[in-house]
Structure 1
Amino acid sequence: MSFPRRQFIAGGAALTAGKMFGLHSSSAHAQVTLGDIKIDVVSDGSLTLPGSFIFEPMPESELLPILEKYGQSVDVLTPPCNVTLMRQGERTILFDVGSGPDFSPNSGILLDSLEVLEVAPEDVTDIVFTHAHPDHLWGLLDDFDDPLFPEASYMIGKAEWDYWMSPNTIDEIGEARVSFAVGAQRRLKLIEDHIEFFTDGDEIISGVLARSTFGHTPGHMALEVRQGSESLMILGDCIGNDHIAFAKPEWHSGSDQDQETAAATRITLLDQLSHQNMRVIGYHLSGNGIGYVDKMPGGYVFVPEL
């Protein structure tokens, strides 16, 4: 089997190449620079999920060899949670806010990760939500139900807002996700006077374009950051892992609310990302979530930058 074209053959070579491409890493975070834009990927910890949450709709006979190849358990998944921090000029922007203390015992460490970068909650000027699932939204409030980032303004896709704030969502989302809907509505109501909406193609911040990537949730958005000839895409969960989502993007995933639409989104997006040679940041992709998409026979592969 041939190695993907960006696979670094040794750790020393990887570090050298990373510096050449404007990426620096440490145990705390990874950093990318695009012109005057500085992007840090910081950890909110990890989740512990039953494998069936994702794998249940998939053909087991084909699934198991892929999981074995990637060293993944069919029973338990422990995906990382990679939050993106962008700084440009006077603006400090978070893309999603992590889980907070109420969703998963291994997550909710975003503030500690930001502290390593000497970024305090009051330094954050803007928060952009890719979608309103708990591990992306529930870190919004402190222990007193006050906004944890007191100086921030908020942005979310209009379709995503309309879905979660609909009075019908709690009844229609399905028993397994009722808590998602209750939690989203409670948190979003507390910021509804301070939130702006965007749609596909909007430049929501200078150099940041919204990209509709519906399916994982009804209004899920990715964000493309572009500076001159350089660009990267903040994926959120539209490509939710670095094994099955790449190897078999057409397969339905149990983690997606609209499985058919999500599969179509993955197929189109992976083709674009591999063709354009665009760097990505994935919320649940391995390591720091930074890398590229390579097209391989029969599917794709995630190639971590470091």
Structure 2
Amino acid sequence: MQITRRAFTTGGLMLGGLALGPGLGLPARASARFGSMQIDMVSDGNLVLPRDFITGPMPAEELAAILTRNGITGEALTPPCNVTLLRHEDRVILFDVGSGSDFQPSAGLLPETLDSLGLAPEDITHLVITHGHPDHIWGLLDEFDEPFLPEAQILMGRAEFDYWMDPGTLDSIGAARQAFAIGAQRRLEAVADLVTFFEDGAEILPGVAARLTPGHTPGHMSFELRDGSESLMVLGDAIGNHHVAFERPAWESGSDQDPATAAATRVALFDQLASAQMPIAGFHLPGGLGRVEAHADGGYRFQPA
């Protein structure tokens, strides 16, 4: 089967590729604790997408060397989808809610992986949204079009919400991503009364500060979690993979809606994260948790936790 960019962006790609953990039927889970914060990476499965959806604009010869070095072959990429779960004091917080059952058959595992932690959807007190792409918000509604997290307060950056709810977005986003806009509008409209909005720099919950990281989408947010002197950055898709994004952060990626802005955001983020040695939680990074290591070639490497 030929994997095309259109098949992926319209939700029509019907390939699996989920790696299952031994004995559980679910991917392995990474965890970390700092201060009074407990972090668990909760799998929503994985995506299957055409390689050139990301690498299309990149220089072919140098790209090939990076992919080979990272063991990536073939025409498909199968990035994991790692939802960050934060338990802090009396709050149980999800950062993004996965893709639900309507995007790709290899994703939508969040209900099962929450259950493996002994959590029901009703136990989630807050849902924090990084951005409005399908693999991050299409899980907002269950199969009956009711909120999947019925007790959760939803927090979302005002600029990102307004972008997806703007009727003009459907015309400006490009034909390949129009399904993204239609799906986001339907789901965000259904939960709009439950959303609390915030701006860049706001402390949206105790120990959780919003950091605008635009480019992947116009209002994409990352979040700095801090308890005392310890901190961790929840990246969403501001750093979208463990290979070319790390080794050549200034390269423009086809997965970003504003590639030039997203590249500038990555460069600034890597400089901050590497110099501070701040742990990271990445939605599409292997295992989800790790650190950024500066490399002699001027790029960076992902160090899994």
Please confirm whether the aligned pair reaches a TM-score higher than 0.5, indicating the same fold. yes
What does residue 295 of structure 2 align with?
Answer: 296
Does residue 237 (structure 1) correspond to residue 221 (structure 2)? The answer is: no
Structure 1 residue runs of 4 or more that deviate by more than 6 Å after TM superposition: none
What does residue 147 of structure 2 align with?
Answer: 147
* Superposed displacement of residue 74, structure 1: 5.3
SS in 2 for 1:104: coil
Gaps of 5+ in 1: 1-25
Gaps of 5+ in 2: 1-25
- Distance in 2 separating the partners of 1:304 and 1:94: 21
- Distance in 1 separating the partners of 2:83 and 2:238: 15
Q: Conserved in 2, the CA contact under 8 Å of 1:67 and 1:74?
A: no
Matches within 5 A, 1:71-110: 71-73=71-73, 75-110=75-110
Matches within 5 A, 1:258-269: 258-269=258-269
What does residue 193 of structure 2 align with?
Answer: 193
- Distance in 2 separating the partners of 1:29 and 1:226: 22
* Superposed displacement of residue 73, structure 1: 2.4
Does residue 213 (structure 1) correspond to residue 221 (structure 2)? The answer is: no
Matches within 5 A, 1:172-191: 172-191=172-191
SS in 1 for 2:186: helix
Matches within 5 A, 1:38-57: 38-57=38-57
SS in 2 for 1:38: strand
- The Cα offsets for residues 258-296 of structure 1, whole Å up to 9 and x where unpaired, read as 00000000000001000000000100001x110000111
- Distance in 2 separating the partners of 1:223 and 1:110: 21
* Superposed displacement of residue 242, structure 1: 0.2
What does residue 281 of structure 1 align with?
Answer: 281
- Paired amino acid for 2:36: D
Q: Conserved in 1, the CA contact under 8 Å of 2:122 and 2:151?
A: yes
Q: Conserved in 2, the CA contact under 8 Å of 1:28 and 1:113?
A: no
- The Cα offsets for residues 211-249 of structure 1, whole Å up to 9 and x where unpaired, read as 000000000000010001111000000000000000000
- Distance in 1 separating the partners of 2:209 and 2:166: 26
Residue range with higher mean Cα deviation, 34-43 or 226-235: 34-43
- Paired amino acid for 1:170: L
* Superposed displacement of residue 80, structure 1: 0.3
- Paired amino acid for 2:207: G
- Distance in 1 separating the partners of 2:108 and 2:123: 19
- The Cα offsets for residues 132-159 of structure 1, whole Å up to 9 and x where unpaired, read as 1000000111111000111111011111
SS in 1 for 2:219: coil
- The Cα offsets for residues 14-50 of structure 1, whole Å up to 9 and x where unpaired, read as xxxxxxxxxxxx9642221121111111100000000
- Distance in 2 separating the partners of 1:223 and 1:118: 25
- Paired amino acid for 1:80: P
- Distance in 2 separating the partners of 1:30 and 1:293: 17
Q: Conserved in 1, the CA contact under 8 Å of 2:213 and 2:220?
A: yes
Q: What TM-score does the superposition give when structure 1 sets the normalisation length? A: 0.90
Q: Conserved in 1, the CA contact under 8 Å of 2:216 and 2:258?
A: yes
What does residue 252 of structure 2 align with?
Answer: 252
CA RMSD of aligned residues (A): 1.0
- The Cα offsets for residues 146-174 of structure 1, whole Å up to 9 and x where unpaired, read as 00111111011111011101010001100
SS in 2 for 1:29: coil
- Number of residue pairs matched? 279
What does residue 226 of structure 2 align with?
Answer: 226
- The Cα offsets for residues 53-76 of structure 1, whole Å up to 9 and x where unpaired, read as 001101101110110000112511
SS in 2 for 1:159: helix
What does residue 5 of structure 2 align with?
Answer: none
